[in-house]
Structure 1
């Protein structure tokens, strides 16, 4: 146990160093890849089955197929950072459900609520003016809206409106809940609490279903990285290069298997094992970065600034982009747009749209993600004020 704690302490220290810039950059890049896949599906003719005029266009277009693998990257990064936070507070005997829930829920809701409202507005406009057929009846729409607020999409309700990327948010939230519950089952000395936490864990596992449960294993790969000891071999640049190559291969395998171009001759959504391969290879890359990069080396200031910038609006970009793409697509379709042929000009147009979407997401993040600490502080102070008022009432009685 002491050895595991020592490994965790070393990795926890390394995560505050130069490696954090690389992880921030990967998080931002993953959000952009998700945007590109959804944009490409609306922008290009015959998306996914095209003949390309040259290798450059083919390479650039290939980036449009990596949105699915990018979500797996999010899962592993989430597992790394969330479990780090939980374990650190538990090891230091500072664990508090109140602090944890305030931190997690404020981080999610400060972006989710505005994103859901924007989805409603964008879908309503597309439905009323541009032949977008989504709003079946008000009761179903309200139920989906409320269900998404409580992270029940894909479990009891649909993802809200056109905002399909919300599916992963329900998985993430329940992983946030499951992980500390599992840890507290083993760490708690009181049998009664062990039983309560065990019942809660079983209830969540039963509710979220087999598919979300299985992807929890991929999320936990980020946790495993926190406890792996450093070995001398990993400091080799060759190992770092191999780990990066494995990630590239794993990410490219997913769309090929998904579209029936590798191993099978038909489209399939049964991608758990290829997603597990992506998770394992990306975890290996994180491990090689953590233990292979010298912490004392100074970080490139420009790279650090770009990484932090991308990370600062990645969540907003993820939740914001699809309703806007959907609205613009149906507006274009009503005015005769039928898609672009893949060539250098159309890829350049896509790049311009991606940049514009990133700029919009950045502005959106300034009034959402950037206010997270303010919201957290306000909520915690409200709790403290409530406690003080409660004491005064007791004293008066």
Structure 2
């Protein structure tokens, strides 16, 4: 990890809901990347947008890095029993997972599709990403596989925070280098798996593989909390992330995704350090009171809805395609994109207001507690969730 520079504002931590607003705003853009990815592949392509988002599944990598960052930031120096931490995480993700899974299964049944009860159970138990079977991975809601990875991250987080290497500046530097090398080695290991389906599971879904992304977020979060200044600014980090996706365009034209060295696996594995720099730069900008353009009122609202949006948008796409088919012309495709985005966002806003937020608060009230919370910023949210106060 680059050299740590003390920051006079590192101790002046913003408090209250959305204490680091740029991170909340970035959640929406990462979720939009995933939404555009699914629209491009399941509805139809829009020139420019689809090329840039053709590997937008990398937005999930961003959320895994961000999850580690915000959890490390939130719980650094706080004495929170593991059972309290894990119950909070359950209350955070499970109500909306269960609700959207019921919605997804209902849509499939209404469309006359067969639904595997075992796959739905695996989804609700947050274990489906461990099973190398396409039916199980899709489970009750195809987008929910990432929550199985998040559940694994939550289980190991208290152990990671106790590791001496994670707690020391030198150790974090070494972990940063090791993770960057590790994601490259994981990508290269695809050459050892001839069959495409097992390779996709091992490199894309398996929680053990994705742990590197979470770990890099953890060390970045602790480093920024201790005054580390990222080597590049926010807009340079954004430019790097966009540039990476632009590089994937000619790569995809030259190499098939069916090959291990194609851009599909590389898109989400090799983007890990870029997203870590992006998250750290955004947090550092907020800490120094700089206006980033990512934390305005509507950006915050959209960030709040992004977790639900991530889980709902594919269901809306599925309903549209089943009833109307794929559009043929450019104008029709653009219209369907707008309809899907508008409808899924509206449903997500309702889900946040009437399901996600109230059920989380109610479940927390039933679970174990600690006597006091210092609430530096809110806890991390998986794949689209927002930052908010404990």
TM-score w.r.t. length of structure 1: 0.70
* 1:101 paired residue number: 86
For the 8 Å contact 2:96–2:308, the answer to whether it is kept is yes
CA displacement at 1:284 relative to structure 2: 1.4
Secondary structure, aligned partner of 1:36: helix
**Structure 2 counterparts to residues 219-298 of structure 1, below 5 A:** 219-226=214-221, 227-228=223-224, 234=231, 239-254=233-248, 257=251, 260-262=252-254, 264-265=255-256, 267-268=258-259, 271=264, 273-292=266-285, 295-296=288-289
* Per-residue Cα deviation, 1:151-178 (whole angstroms, up to 9, x for no partner): 1113236135562212211111101111
1: CA distance, partners of 2:129 / 2:306: 23
Structure with the bigger percentage of helix: 1
Residue among 124, 137, 161 paired with 1:159:
137
2:32 matched to which residue of 1?
A: 32
Q: Residue by residue, what CA displacement relative to the aligned partner does 1:235-275 show, whole Å, maximum 9, x if unpaired?
A: xxx84433221111223345654xx424x355346655543
- Post-superposition shift, 1:24? 0.8
Pair 255,163 (structure 1): closer, same or farther in 2 beyond 3 Å: farther
CA shift, 1:183, in A, is: 3.0
1:319 to 290, 311, 320: 311
Residue matched to 2:123: 148
Distance 2:352 2:163 in 1: 37
- Contact 2:39/2:317, CA 8 A, preserved across alignment: yes
Pair 306,66 (structure 1): closer, same or farther in 2 beyond 3 Å:
farther
Question: Does the 8 A contact of 2:237 with 2:278 survive in 1?
Answer: yes
- With over 3 angstroms needed to count, the CA separation of the structure-2 counterparts of 1:292 and 1:305, relative to structure 1, is closer
**In the alignment, which residue of structure 1 is the partner of 2:42?**
42
Higher relative contact order, chain-length normalized (CA < 8 Å, sep 6+): 2
> 1:78·1:222 contact (CA, 8 Å) conserved in 2?
yes
| Conservation of the 8 A alpha-carbon contact between 1:316 and 1:365 | yes
Seen in structure 2, the aligned counterparts of structure 1 residues 250 and 122 have a Cα distance that, compared at 3 Å, is same
Deviation, structure 1 residue 66 = 4.4
From 35, 42, 65, the equivalent of 2:54 is: 65
Moved more, 60-69 or 25-34: 60-69
Kindly indicate whether the alpha-carbon contact (under 8 Å) linking 1:225 and 1:283 is maintained by their aligned counterparts in 2.
Answer: yes
Give matches, 1:325-364, under 5 Å: 325-332=317-324, 337-341=325-329, 343-344=330-331, 346-364=333-351
Give how far 1:118 is off.
0.8
State the distance in 2 between where 1:241 and 1:312 align: 23
- Per the alignment, do residues 245 and 315 of structure 1 end up closer, same or farther by CA in structure 2, a change over 3 Å counting? same
Distance, in Å, in 1 between the alignment partners of 2:74 and 2:266 is: 28
Pairwise CA distance, 1:346:
2.8
Greater Cα offset, 209-218 or 162-171:
209-218
Q: 1:9 to 1:159 in 2, by over 3 A?
A: farther
Aligned counterparts of 1:376 and 1:363: Cα–Cα separation in 2: 19
SS at match of 1:151: coil
Specify the alignment match of 2:10 in structure 1. 10
Deviates more, 1:359-368 or 1:289-298: 289-298
| Partner Cα separation in structure 1 for residue 18 and residue 144 of structure 2 | 31
Aligned length: 325
State the secondary structure of the residue aligned to 2:128: coil
Q: Distance in 1 between matches of 2:328 and 2:344?
A: 19
What whole-Å deviation, never above 9, does each CA across 1:195-225 have from its counterpart, x for those lacking one? xxxxxxxxxxxxx977432221112221222
Q: Structure 1 residues 125 and 176 mapped into 2: Cα distance closer, same or farther (>3 Å)? A: same
Pair 1:169-2:152 in alignment: no
TM-superposition CA deviations, 1:78-132 (whole Å, max 9, x none): 111122233x2xx23x2212210111000111101111111111110011xxxx4
Structure 2's unaligned 5+ residue stretches are 166-200, 372-390
Distance in 1 (alpha carbons) for counterparts of 2:290 and 2:9: 20
Q: Residue 73 of structure 2 aligns with which residue?
A: 84
Following superposition of structure 1 onto structure 2, how do residues 162-241 of structure 1 map, counting pairs within 5 Å? 163-184=141-162, 211-226=206-221, 227-228=223-224, 234=231, 239-241=233-235
Are the equivalent residues in 1 in contact too, given 2:313–2:340 (CA < 8 A)?
A: no
| Structure 1 alignment gaps of length 5 or more | 48-56, 136-140, 188-207, 385-397
Tell me the C-alpha RMSD between the 2 structures.
Answer: 3.7
User: How far apart are residue 369 of structure 1 and its match?
Assistant: 1.7
